[in-house]
Structure 1
Amino acid sequence: MANGIVLSSSVRTNLLSLQDTTTQQGIVQNRLATGKKVISALDNPTNFFTSAGLTQRANDLAALLDGISNGVKTLEAASNGATSITKVIESMQANVRQARQDKSFKGTSFTLDTLNMGSFTGKTLSFSGGSIGTTPVTIDAIVADIGGSRTSQSTTAAYAPPATAAKATYTAENTYAAPGTAQALDLTFNGVTTSVSVAPADTTVGAAVSSINAQLAAAGRTDIEAFNAGGNLQIRTTANVDGSVTVAGAGETAIFGAQVSAPGSDGLHSFSVNGTQVTLTPGQVTVGQAVAKANADLGPTHAFEAFDDGGKLGFRAKSAGVTALSISNTAGSTAAGMFDAAVAGTAPTTPGRVRTVDELATAINEHPSLVGKVRASLDGGKLRIENLSTTEMTIAGASATGINGGAGASNTTTIGGNEIRKNLITQFNDLRDQLDKIAGDAGFNGVNILRGDKLRVVFNERGTSSIDVEAKNKTGLSGVSTASNSLNISAVTEEEYSNDELLDARLNALKESMTTLQAQSSQLGANLSVVQIRQDFTKHMITTLQTGSDFLVNADMNEEGANLLALNTRQQLSQTALSLASQADQAVLRLFG
C-alpha cells in the first residue's frame, strides 16, 4: 500500500462511493453556477461546436441588424422627404390655379383726340413692354388712304439666296512648271490691276507664290494673293468677298492655260432701303424668308416694307402717294444690279381719316402680336386698354388721358402690371426653392436617396442577400435648378404668369411632376417594406439560432437542482455507511479496554 494504512474492504468501498458522490456534486454545482451543461469540447464535442457555430451566426446577424435598422431609417427619411415634396408641389399647383383665376389686370380708358390727329398717316399707337417685349407693335390710328398706288421696286429676276461665302479664285489648268523666260501677268480684282512677273528662277510653285506675293505686297495689294493649289498656281482673294479675279498679260497662257475661274462671295445680299441697311444671308432660302428678314431689318416704323412680288423680292411704300424710294447697293455686293428702277406711286383719291373707337379696339384685339397680351374694349365712348401682363406696358401715341397718335415723351403713357400674379410668381419660386432644401435634408447617417445616393442593405452574413436602393432618376429628385432634374420644375417667369395658356401648360407639367414623384414614393415604399420584413425575419432568426445553441449546451436548472439534492442525500448516506463500516474495525479496541 502506498500510504501503509490498511483499510477494510467495506471501508474502502464506502470511501470510493463518497468520493464519487463528491465529484458528481462538483459537476452539478458547476452547472448550476454557469447554467451550462456543456462548457468545453471535453463535455460534448458535437454539441459544443454545433452550439458555437449557431452562436457565431446569431452574432453575425445581430451585427447586420444595425445596418438593416439604419437602412429602414434611411428609407423612412427619404419617404418623409417625398411626402413633404408632394405637399410643396400641391401648394405650387394651388398657386398656379390662383394665378389662372385672377383677372385683376390694370387698364386705362382714353378719349380719342380726333382734332389733333387730323388725317395724317403718321399717327399711330405703339405698344411695348409687358408681355410684348422691347420691339414695339404699332397700330395705325388712321384709316389708310383710298385710291392711288404705292411706290415699289423689285428684283430683276426671281429671288435667289446669296451664294455661300467663298474666296474668288483663278487657278492654272496644269501643274506649275518654271517658264523658260520671264512671263508678265496682269492681276485684276474690283477694277484694280497690278502687274507681276514669273521668272525662270521660280523653279517651283512655292517659289512662284513667294515671288508674286512679294510683288503684290510691294504694290500695296492686300486683297489678293498667290496660292499653291495642290501644285497648281492660283490667284485668289484674301477674304470671302463678292467679285471675280482675272489674269491677263503676255504670260497668262503660258502660266495658266485653260484656267478654272470661280467667283467669290461674302455670303450676303447687302443693300440699304432709304438709308436703312438690309442684310440677307444664305439662311433666307425662299423669297418669303427674305421678306421676313428684310422687314425685321427695316423695323415697324419704316415707310417701306418688303413683299413677295410673284417670286421676286420687292419693296413698296406702306401707303399710297408719291414717295421716293432709294435702294443703294453695298460696294462689291452681289446685290449690285439686283433691282429694277423704282415705280413711282400716285396720290390717293380719298385721304385717310381717324379710326373710330370700335375700329381701334378691333385692330388692337386682332393684331397677332398683341393677342393675349393687350385687350381693348369700349368704355362709355372711350377706348379702354388693359395690360394682360405682370409687368409695366408702355403706350406711345397716347397721353395720360387721350389718344393723339403723336410721338414724344408727352404722348407716352404706361399701364402697370397685375400685382397679384406678380406676387404669386415670387411665392411659386420660393416654393420651388424648398424642393431642393427638403430633398437635401432628407438624408440619414450620410445617405440621401433623394439626392441620388445609393443605399445598400445586406441581409445575411455571407453578403449573398442584399438590396440596392436609389432614386429612379440617378440624379435624384433634387437639383431642380437644372434642366436635367427628374421633376422638371423650372422657375416661373413674368411672361408665363401673364399668359393663361402658359399657366395651363404649367399645371399639366406639375401633374407630370407629381406622377414622377408618386412613382418614386411607391418605389421607396416597396423597398421600405422589403427591408422591414427582412428586419423582422433577422430578429426571429437570431432568436431561433440562440435558442438552438442554448438547447445544446444549457443545463436544465430544475433537473440539476434535483440531482444536487439527490447527491447531497447520497453523500449523507455514504458518510453513515462509512461510519458503520468503520465500527467493525473499532471492536478490537474493546480488547484493550
Structure 2
Amino acid sequence: MSGIVLSASVRQNLLSLQSTADLLATTQNRLATGKKVNTALDNPTNFFTAQSLDSRASDINNLLDGIGNGVQVLQAANTGITSLQKLVDTAKSIANQALQSAVGYSTKSNVSATITGATAADLRGTTTYTNAVATSNALYSGAAGGTTAAVAGTTLGAAVGTLVGSGAVSDNATAPAQITTATKLYGPGGGGTAGLTTQAATSFRDGDVFTVNGKTITIKGAAVPATTALSAGQSRVGNVVTDGNGNSTVYLGDPATTNSAADVGDLLNAFDLASGAQYVDSVSAGTATLAGTASNITGGVVTLRSSTGADLSITGKADSLAALKVTTAVGSGNTTLTAARATGAASLGNLITDGSTLIVNGKTITFKNQNAAAEGAVPTGSGVFNTNAITDGNGNSTIFLQGGTVADVLTAIDLATGTKTASISGGNATITTAAGGTASTIAANGTLKISTGTANDLSITGTGNALASLGLTGATGTDTSFTAGRTAVPGSLSGKTLTFSSFNGGTAVNVTFGDGSNGTVKTLDQLNAALLANNLNATLDSTGKLTISATNDYASTTIGSATSGGAIGGTVTSAISFTTATAPVVDVTAQTVRSGLVNQFNGILAQITTTAQDASFNGVNLLGGDQLKLTFNETGKSTLSITGVNFDAAGLGLANLTSGVDFIDNAATNKVITNLSSASTLLRSQASALGSNLSIVQIRQDFSKNLINVLQTGSSNLTLADTNEEAANSQALSTRQSIAVSALALANQSQQSVLQLLR
C-alpha cells in the first residue's frame, strides 16, 4: 500500500476518520456494557481499585449472615429474660400472699410486767405498794395466870382429856371377871358364854348408833365383811370397818364364835377413830394399822380419851354407855358424855375448835382435828410444810390441830397473801418468802405481826372460833373481820430506763420513761415508736399489764434467746419484774396455708429453670452461660464478644423453699422477697446489657449494609459509564464520521478534476 500516494488532505481526513471510528467503537462498547472501564487496558488504576472495592463489599456482605444470627440470639435471650421477669413477679406475688395471710403463730413470744395504775396515756403508773404489818390482840398460852405470851411454837391443840369409868366392869355372871379390851360384845340375840354382864346383853344391838365428835359409829349385827368386799376408801381393823374420815361400823359377828365376835377393843377403836385419838396410819390389802394414843381398860376400868385437837363428845344410848360404867344414866334414850382437853404452858390458852376456818384474801385456812401422819391426810397435789400443815400451792391450807402451832398459822396466812410461795413435790411443800416480802411473826408480847403482802390489802374473816382464838376480833373482841391496807408508795417509772438488746438484727432500744419530752417516753404509742426499730411491739391491758411481744415479721423467734437477742435490762427492772419470755405457739391452720404457698413457689422456680434453658437460638443460649462472638469486618479485627449468664433459679440466687422453715413468719417471707427483688434487678441489668449489645449489633449491621453500598457505589463510580455522555459522544462521533467522509470526498475532488482533464 506504500505505493499508493495520498494527498496530505486526504491522508489527514483518513486519519481523522479512523480516529472517529475508534472513538465510536469505544463509545458503543461503553453503551453496551454500561462501564467505561471494562478491562485493565481501559484504566488500570480504576479497574483494580474498583475490583478491590467490590471484593471488600463482598466480604462484608458475607459477614452479614453471622450478624443477623447474632441479632436473633440476642432477641431470643431478651425474650427469655422477659418471661423470666414475669415468673419472678409471679413468685413475688406468692410471697406477698404469705405476708398477707394469717401469721403462722397464734401467740408470739412475749414478756410482761404489771405497772400499777399504768394507762395507754401514761405508762409510768401512779402508785406502787409495799408490805404493811398489822398487829393482832395478844395471844396467851395456857400457863397458870393466863398472862404468859404465846410463842411461835405454841401448839393449837392441848393435853388429851380423859373420861374414866366409875369402876371396874365385870363380864358375864357365869364366870365374873374384870373385862379387858378382848372381852366380847354380845350379838343381837344376847346370851353366850363370853362377854359383858347380863345387863349389857341388851345394850349393844344391831342398828345402835353413837355420835362421837360429829362422826357416826353404827353397831351392825352381822359378820365383818372380807377386806375384798370393802368399798373404795374403806379399811378394816378387827371387827371395825372405817371410811377413813372417822365414821365406822362395828360388826358384832357371832358371839358363839370367838374369832368372829366383836370385842370391847373394837368399840374403843371406833370411838378413838371418831375422836382422833387414833388414826389409820397405813392400809395393807384392806387391813388398817392404827397409830396414836388409844383409849384403854386398866383393872376393868374403862378410860376414853380425846385427841389433842378436839374435846371428846360421845352421844349414844345410855344403857350401852352405862355397861362400860362411864355414865350412871340408864335407859334406851341417848346421853352425852364429854372429856375436855387441858391447856398448858405449851398450848394456846384459847383453843381453836375443829372445823374452824380463816378466809384470808379469798383463800381458806382450815383447822382440822387430824394427825398429819394419818392415811390420806395429804390430798393429791398438796404438800406438807412445817410437819403439821399442808397447802395446795394456791394459798389454801389445812392446819392439823394435833400438832399444829402458831408458826403454822402465820405461814398459812403468808401463803394466802402471797408473802410466801409454795413449791410442791412428792407430797412436800417447800416454802419460800417472795421477793420483797416480809414474813409474818409473833412478837415477844404475844401479838401477831401479820404482813399484808403487796398484791392486795389484807382481809381476814372466819368461821368457828378461829378469829377469836387468834386475837383477830379487834380491841373489843367483837369484830367479825380483821383488815389492813398495804403501804401506798407514790411512785412511777419516771427516770427509769428499759433496755432491749438487738432483736433479730433490729436497733437496740434504750427507753427512758418520763413526761414525753426530750426523748423520754410517756405513752404507749411513744413506746411502740421506740420499739418498732427493734422488731418489738407493746400492748397494755386494763389491769396495767404491759406485754412486749415480737412483731409479725419475727413471730417464730423467742425474745431473749441466744439466736434472736432482745435481752431485757435497765433500771426499770428494779421497779417491775418482767416474766420469762414465752415461746411462740404455732397456728397449725396458718402454717398449712403457708406450706401450700411454699409448694406453689417451688413450682415457679422449676419453670424459671426450664425457661432459661429454652431461651436459645441456633444452639446458642446466652441465658445458659454460652458466649456469642460476632465479626464485623473482613479482617476479623472488629469483633464483639457477648458473655452469657446462667439464669436458672440458682443463677438468679433463688432456691427451693422448705415447709416449716420458709414463709413461717413475715421475716422469713421478706428474706425470700429480698432474694426475688435481687433476681429482678439481675434480670433488668442483664436485659439492659442485652439491649445495649443488640443495639450495637444492629448498628453494625446497618453500618455494614451502608458500607457495602458505599464500596459498591465507589466501585461503580470508577468503572461505570455515563450513558447520557456516551450517547452524546456516540451521536457526536457519528456526525463527525459523516463529516469526515464528506471531507474525504472533497479532498479527492482535485484528483477527480485531473481525471476529467485526462479524459
Give the alignment's TM-score, normalised by structure 2.
0.36
Question: Greater relative contact order (Cα 8 A, min sep 6): structure 1 or 2?
Answer: 1
Bigger share in helix = 1
Give the alignment's TM-score, normalised by structure 1.
0.45
